[in-house]
Structure 1
Amino acid sequence: MIENGDLILSYLQRLGVEFVFGVPGGSIEPFYNALARSERRGGTRAIIARHETGAAFMADGYTRETGKIGVCCSTAGPGATNLITGVASAYADGIPMLVISAQTAIEKFGRGALQDGSCTGINTLEIFTHCTRFNTLVSHSAQVEHKLLQAISYAISNRPGPVHLSVPLDVMRDTIEDTEQKATLRAFINHEVVPSQEAMHLVLKELADKNKVTVVIGEGAAGAIDTIIALIESRNWQFVTTPRAKGLVNNFHPLYRGVFGFAGHESARDALLPENAERVVVVGTALDEVSTSGWDSSAIMSRRLIHLSSNSEHLSRSYMAKLCILGSIELMLKPFSALLNRHPLRKQISRQFNTDGLPSNIQFAHPEKCFSDDSPIKPQALMTYMSAVCPDDTRVLMDSGNSFLWGIHYWNCKRPHPFNPHKSLFHIGIGFSSMGWAIGAAVGIAAGAKGKPVVCFTGDGSMLMSGQEITTALQERLNVLFIVLNDSALGMVRHGQRIGGAEPIGNELPSINFAQMAQAMGVEAYRIEHMSDLKQLDIQALLNRHAPCLLDVVIDREEVPPMGARMKVLTGAA
């Protein structure tokens, strides 16, 4: 006989899931008992976060790095409600995640039990309704297997996202026959949609005679990115990325014009103007504020648009497009991949640098500040230096606020070739923009990355919210380099209030030495007040150790990040 917790874990192990991120508690105890038994067998094991939101962020990061479903869990009541922000973040970014929350025993429902999250208490199941793809109470032992498999099917579908199982204590610890599971898991593979031949003929006809085409690469292009780049090179088209897709390409490619959208580059916008793009081909992204620079009608949002995606929700706002094609980008391009890879123009492509080492075809705001030695440290210089000295395969995360504004614009990805086409090297949790997301997600990415370098940029506001999660990296011996942009302020709020003419309220933070804080937690840390302090460190050595490190970087709080598109939306400007 086995318990239902063991049954759940047996399926997770078959799916290759190595970790469950969470915080233990009374009502979830049977599941942690099963995790302990699993770990002794060398199977799926627990990683303990400091807060359930951090656990959900970690599961998010693990999925991004491995492609496997991330799993997080919590006890009943406040454990479940603490998960919500992390789950909502995954929902907004379309990240597959299995969320397991506990309930008190069914017989205790409605009797005022401790942490009662049932329909007769604080209804936590109802709270998850609007941030999950599938959400259910497992009320009987016989439901566990089929509801688990149904949930996973929803999570990894063509409209991916988090799913939630709410499992009462007595159901989780109920025993069942220890027989081999009947499910084959075939439902979880080969579910990509093949675009229709008619649709493909329309696209080919539309692009056959167009010389001026700009391709907008979105996060949904992962997997097909090598073939997409080969197509771009064979036609000598320009291309840009959305902020989320920045890490799918080498930013030094001579046909790359930078990021279009939130905190993007003027060169990317120029590449999308009618005089430079007879057609704009958008691949694998939704037409949201972040990806369209506040729905700029002079760039993507026009009749020149050809929108390709495997996610039907991505196409729901493409009502102005010339063509919309639903289907797998990989399957769409597969018939042409061999031909494209043999194309003679591909041999001429190499990285292109300016004399100062910046990508030559990207127009940066204030490029002179990228090499400033001024103190306090210019964020532009910090991003430029760190992206230059970190290994080409560094996974970098930018937290919400000034961090992702500076990172989107100034971090230069040097994506090596060949590299796993399904993986990105640049991560932002920008759909819901939760502060502290990157701290937890970096732990999850590092857990899945098996020693590859991981760098997390976060702000002092986010660090005060979620900084305790660095101790999870310490406990798990994960090599994450945490870099705190310390300006003693909620920087994005502060600059936004100034630019928008709002009252300067609530944006100041106390002066804190985060290096000392990290050292008190047992994490190696350094206070960086001058660029010379940073340049004295052996960054590669710090990234090669099985331990986290933190850099507390005092930045120039008067430097305004590239937030023009965001302010246009907030102020209602044309």
Structure 2
Amino acid sequence: MFENGDLILRYLERLGVEYVFGVPGGSIEPFYDALARSERRGGIRTITARHETGAAFMAEGYARETGRIGVCCSTAGPGATNLLTGVASAYADGIPMLVITAQTALDRFGQGSLQETSCTGIHTVEMFARCTRYNTLVSHPAQLETKLLQAVSHAVSNQPGPAHLAIPLDVMRHRIPDNVIDGALNAFTNHEVAPSERFIQSALGELDPAKKVTLVLGEGAAEASELLIRIAESRRWLMVTTPRGKGLIDSFHPLYRGVFGFAGHDSATDALKVENADRVVAIGTALDEVSTCGWDPTTILSDRLIHISNNPAHLSRSTMARLVVLGSPKVLFESLAKVWSIRPTSQASRSISSDERLPVNTRLDDPDKCFDRSGRIKSQALMTYMSRICPLDTRVLMDTGNSFLWGIHYWNVRRPTNMPPEINHFHIGLGFAAMGWAIGTSVGMAAAGRQHPVVCFTGDGSYLMSGQELTIALQENLNILMLVLNDASLGMVSHGQKLSGGEQVATRLPSVDFSMMARALGVESYRVESMEQLADLDITEILSRPGPCLVDVIVDGDQVPPLGSRMKVLTSSIQTDK
């Protein structure tokens, strides 16, 4: 027996996919039948999430770790609507994903079927329209193969993101010949778009005579990052990263000035001021709030800007730039490096080492707190300590809330010498900023790279939303260390209320012992209330073996996270309203 569900899985196998993340149900049952057949023959298998939003986050984590498309699925009705937040998160961060949702049988559309989500019911295809790159109902069995190939093509394009197929039960169950798979996958190559010679010469004309240049590396600069570092070293240019680009440069590189934007560093802002940068070169980033420090007009958003990206969506707001280049940053800078006689290899850029406890050239808000061991745990000290003791191949995720604020500002990235330049071990879900994002994403990432440890920083509010996904790490024996920053509060909201002069309301959480919760789930766990207790844990040993572990970290909730740029936006909106 060979059905359309089997056809989908055979194509996904050709793309290197290993897992489908989802939750089963009645209307999606034929696809799970195909997954069962696949698993029996050693092919793609399913990982069952505890909630469909978690399944989408897991698919995102898988895509981030492997560079391949992540796949998630759900049944009709609430299964599909539960996926929405996770899909929107992947859309906002440009993560390639195939999203499969079920529909009731075509001949039952409009008749009030259980969990009906057709165009005459709860119209889920319409719901997905604004958070996908491709979105369609497969309304006839003959459409499925073509629409599947189109969906994957959109998902992994130069403007990547989720693609959604809504597939009725009878279409998924439709039988087909077992030799039907013959579609070419040529369209799925993420092609490098070479900038035109005219734009290469324009960039050379702008940068060659410039005395002071600052590079801004966003997430889309990954493949060119090593080359950009070599060029910066040769020409003595300064470098900063956006929050999403953090991790592409070793924090201790002498030319690195830190993160510019959301939760960033004053040293990065200074590096972009007119007195320090004749030209600002932004690579692979969109000019959104988090990457422009709340649209600061004195730094990136000026006529000194040269904006380069392979993704056309990144360039849509570059109205003030003196030069905008659509194309591969790597191809562009290879041409410039050749003109400047910069050698293709450089030991300096690949082997940054430092005995400094903190980066010398990155100005932190509270450097003294990085080594403060008094009282309750300071998040500044937690990030500094963990970034120093975690193995160099550790994948690190910072969840929405205080976790990603502390992580962006205080986590020190150390890149091993053998690390491919396009790989980034520091991850945040900043586009849509969904609470609980890091929990599910860490599961998908750990499943994709079982030989590497994964460390997930999350807050108590996020854990109360999505902590049940940790049971998957137990079931799959995944190497995940979950650190819950526990201050019995929705910390980021609470501090935002205080800083903006708002009412102090609705942010208190119960005092929960998350180590006891984890123990009840069968997960190894610890509770630490001081840095001394944290230091007594053998983190290196914990991260050297499979299986999850949770540490309930009692943090000092009075410490104010680096919220400056966010508060500037929020308070200016309040003033405008008045």
Tell me, yes or no, whether TM beats 0.5. yes
Shift of 1:501: 0.6
Residue 135 of structure 1 aligns with an amino acid whose one-letter code is N
Q: Is 1:474 paired with 2:483? A: no
Inter-CA distance 525–180: structure 2 relative to 1 (3 Å threshold): same
Conserved 8 A contact 1:222-1:248: yes
Match of 1:517 in 2: 517
1:20-45, Cα deviation, whole Å (9 max, x unpaired): 00001111011011111111111111
Conserved 8 A contact 2:405-2:561: yes
Q: Distance in 2 between matches of 1:345 and 1:65?
A: 26
1:451-499, Cα deviation, whole Å (9 max, x unpaired): 2111000000000000000001111111010000000000001000011
Q: Distance in 2 between matches of 1:53 and 1:417?
A: 36
Match of 2:265 in 1: 265
Pairs within 5 Å for 1:239-278:
239-278=239-278
Conserved 8 A contact 2:226-2:349: no
Shift of 1:211: 2.3
Shift of 1:231: 1.1
Conserved 8 A contact 1:233-1:345: no
Conserved 8 A contact 2:214-2:238: yes
Conserved 8 A contact 2:52-2:82: yes
Match of 1:363 in 2: 363
Conserved 8 A contact 2:439-2:466: yes
Match of 1:540 in 2: 540
Q: Distance in 2 between matches of 1:126 and 1:257?
A: 44
Shift of 1:256: 0.4
Match of 2:22 in 1: 22
What SS is found at the alignment partner of 1:292? coil
1:221-242, Cα deviation, whole Å (9 max, x unpaired): 1112111111111111110000
Conserved 8 A contact 1:254-1:349: no
Shift of 1:450: 2.4
What SS is found at the alignment partner of 1:98? strand
Q: Distance in 2 between matches of 1:84 and 1:52?
A: 9
Conserved 8 A contact 1:22-1:47: yes
Residue 109 of structure 1 aligns with an amino acid whose one-letter code is F
Match of 2:65 in 1: 65
Conserved 8 A contact 2:500-2:567: yes
Conserved 8 A contact 1:486-1:553: yes
Residue 12 of structure 1 aligns with an amino acid whose one-letter code is L
Shift of 1:112: 1.2
Q: Is 1:184 paired with 2:184? A: yes
Residue 528 of structure 2 aligns with an amino acid whose one-letter code is I
Shift of 1:336: 5.8
Shift of 1:350: 3.6
TM-score, reference length from structure 1: 0.98
Conserved 8 A contact 2:450-2:479: no
Match of 1:220 in 2: 220
Pairs within 5 Å for 1:102-501:
102-189=102-189, 191-335=191-335, 340-341=342-343, 346=348, 350-354=352-356, 357-501=357-501
Q: Distance in 2 between matches of 1:259 and 1:341?
A: 27
Match of 2:76 in 1: 76
Conserved 8 A contact 2:204-2:336: no
What SS is found at the alignment partner of 2:560? coil
Inter-CA distance 45–255: structure 2 relative to 1 (3 Å threshold): same
Q: Distance in 2 between matches of 1:348 and 1:456?
A: 27
Conserved 8 A contact 1:395-1:454: yes
What SS is found at the alignment partner of 1:405? helix
Q: Distance in 1 between matches of 2:286 and 2:463?
A: 30
Conserved 8 A contact 1:234-1:343: no
Q: Distance in 2 between matches of 1:222 and 1:180?
A: 38
Unaligned runs of 5+ residues in structure 2 are: none
Conserved 8 A contact 1:352-1:360: no
What SS is found at the alignment partner of 2:472? helix
Inter-CA distance 210–337: structure 2 relative to 1 (3 Å threshold): closer
Inter-CA distance 97–347: structure 2 relative to 1 (3 Å threshold): closer
Shift of 1:420: 2.1
Residue 342 of structure 2 aligns with an amino acid whose one-letter code is L
Deviates more, 1:500-509 or 1:179-188: 179-188
State the superposition RMSD in angstroms.
1.5
What SS is found at the alignment partner of 1:246? coil
Conserved 8 A contact 2:278-2:304: yes
Inter-CA distance 170–343: structure 2 relative to 1 (3 Å threshold): closer
Conserved 8 A contact 2:217-2:241: yes
What SS is found at the alignment partner of 2:481? strand
Inter-CA distance 125–203: structure 2 relative to 1 (3 Å threshold): same
Shift of 1:351: 3.1
Residue 170 of structure 2 aligns with an amino acid whose one-letter code is D
Residue 316 of structure 1 aligns with an amino acid whose one-letter code is S
Q: Distance in 2 between matches of 1:42 and 1:98?
A: 21
Q: Distance in 2 between matches of 1:493 and 1:474?
A: 31
Conserved 8 A contact 2:350-2:417: no
Q: Distance in 2 between matches of 1:297 and 1:347?
A: 31
Inter-CA distance 350–177: structure 2 relative to 1 (3 Å threshold): closer
Conserved 8 A contact 1:254-1:352: no
Match of 2:13 in 1: 13
Q: Distance in 2 between matches of 1:51 and 1:212?
A: 51
Conserved 8 A contact 2:200-2:335: no
What SS is found at the alignment partner of 2:223? coil
Deviates more, 1:510-519 or 1:339-348: 339-348
Conserved 8 A contact 1:393-1:414: no
Inter-CA distance 537–282: structure 2 relative to 1 (3 Å threshold): same
Q: Is 1:50 paired with 2:50? A: yes
Inter-CA distance 245–190: structure 2 relative to 1 (3 Å threshold): closer
Q: Distance in 1 between matches of 2:190 and 2:157?
A: 10
1:285-334, Cα deviation, whole Å (9 max, x unpaired): 00000000000011100111000001111111111101000001122234
What SS is found at the alignment partner of 2:516? helix
Match of 1:34 in 2: 34
Conserved 8 A contact 2:156-2:190: no
Conserved 8 A contact 1:239-1:256: yes
